[in-house]
Structure 1
Amino acid sequence: MTDTTISIAAPSPASQRFVDEYKTAMRHVASQVAIVTYGRGEDRGGITCTAICSASTEPPALVVCINRSSPARDGIARAGAFAVNHLTDEQSEIARAFSQSSQVAAPFDLGQWSTGSEGAPILAQATANFECRIDQCIEIGGHTMFIGWVVAVQTAPGSTLLYRDGFFRRLAQE
């Protein structure tokens, strides 16, 4: 079997009205909240992210989308690896700290962190941690899509933190 790449021309620029409607619709979609981290020695950082999905299960791979203007985008590219730390509904303070461009306190002071095999910080008690080695970077619109091979995973019990319509949310028990 051979790999095939299909290229389709980018659409013409959308009207501002359509972009606003798209953003409004996306705010109605609940997403899991994770901290995407990177690290190489003293050069480490992270960002709160909801644009994450599985790309493949065999072999395991994840996709993470990061805004090109974010310092985390360049940090991830420099490191060549990243970790995805899915938060519990009790870790919203950590999500807030990593979502602010200028933090009052260092975000790594919140929670218990260790260093993964690829150098990225790993958050203890996250519902799931995925350590990834970058395979591809794809520029799309104002974002970079990082596709990473998963090289290590760990899980812990807890209810997943969600984000919808500008607020952190909890899953309701049935």
Structure 2
Amino acid sequence: MMKIATETPMPSRLVDEYKTAMRHVASQVAVVTFPTETGRSGITCTAICSASTEPPALVVSVNRSTEACEAIAKAGVFVVNHLSDEQSEIARQFSSSGDAARRFSVGYWQVGETGAPILEAATANFECRVEEAMDFGEHRMFVGTVVSVRIDDGSALLYRDGFFRRLVLE
């Protein structure tokens, strides 16, 4: 990987300002799911973006201190399930600690072609195979090539300022 700039320590003031500013940026909420040796698991995530259209690929950023980070690396597959504004309870379940069975007790789930769980009625599902992973700061960014896509109607669930939000269409 090409390194663009040298590392310089960040002043704590800048880190605090960055965190505050990012809280003002609305992000679509997704649950990233993956198979595990004992079944399935997942996490709520807002740090997701398109990486490429040819080939179709997404980037998912996961905190390296979470169990999910190593589990995704081990599974080699994941699904990005973008939630509708009616699925905030699913986002809450997957953002709290606890056993996976409880998390998957909300919503209707299928198994995708990669073996990863897919949430029915999500606004969009992207089933991916991990192609690359890169550590940066406290996160690992997984680049996944998309192997299947599902689309459903519904308005996106957003996250801003510590709260789930809905889009209002005029």
So what's the TM-score if we normalise by structure 2?
0.95
Aligned partner of 2:40 in structure 1 is: 44
**Residue 104 of structure 2 aligns to a residue in which SS?**
helix
Which consecutive segments of 4 or more residues in structure 1 shift more than 4 A? none
CA separation in 2, counterparts of 1:162 and 1:152?
A: 23
**Residue 106 of structure 1 aligns to a residue in which SS?**
helix
Does residue 33 of the first structure (1) align with residue 34 of the second (2)?
no
The answer on whether the counterparts of 1:56 and 1:62 sit within 8 Å (CA) in structure 2 is: yes
Displacement after TM superposition at 1:88 (Å): 0.2
Does residue 66 of the first structure (1) align with residue 62 of the second (2)?
yes
Q: Call closer, same or farther: CA 1:80–1:104 in 2, change over 3 Å.
A: closer
Aligned partner of 1:92 in structure 2 is: 88
Among candidates 152, 157, 164, match of residue 160 of structure 2:
164
CA separation in 1, counterparts of 2:36 and 2:46?
A: 23
> Percent of aligned pairs with the same residue?
62
Q: Call closer, same or farther: CA 1:133–1:42 in 2, change over 3 Å.
A: same
**Which stretch has the larger CA shift, 153-162 or 94-103?**
94-103
**Residue 75 of structure 1 aligns to a residue in which SS?**
helix
- Structure 1: any 5+ residue segments left out of the alignment? none
Displacement after TM superposition at 1:105 (Å): 7.1
So what's the TM-score if we normalise by structure 1?
0.93
**Residue 85 of structure 1 aligns to a residue in which SS?**
strand
Among candidates 7, 10, 15, match of residue 11 of structure 1:
7
CA separation in 2, counterparts of 1:167 and 1:88?
A: 15
Q: Which amino acid aligns with 2:169?
A: Q
**Residue 109 of structure 1 aligns to a residue in which SS?**
coil
**Residue 17 of structure 2 aligns to a residue in which SS?**
helix
Displacement after TM superposition at 1:13 (Å): 1.9
CA separation in 1, counterparts of 2:128 and 2:162?
A: 28
The answer on whether the counterparts of 1:97 and 1:103 sit within 8 Å (CA) in structure 2 is: no
Displacement after TM superposition at 1:41 (Å): 5.3
Displacement after TM superposition at 1:15 (Å): 1.6
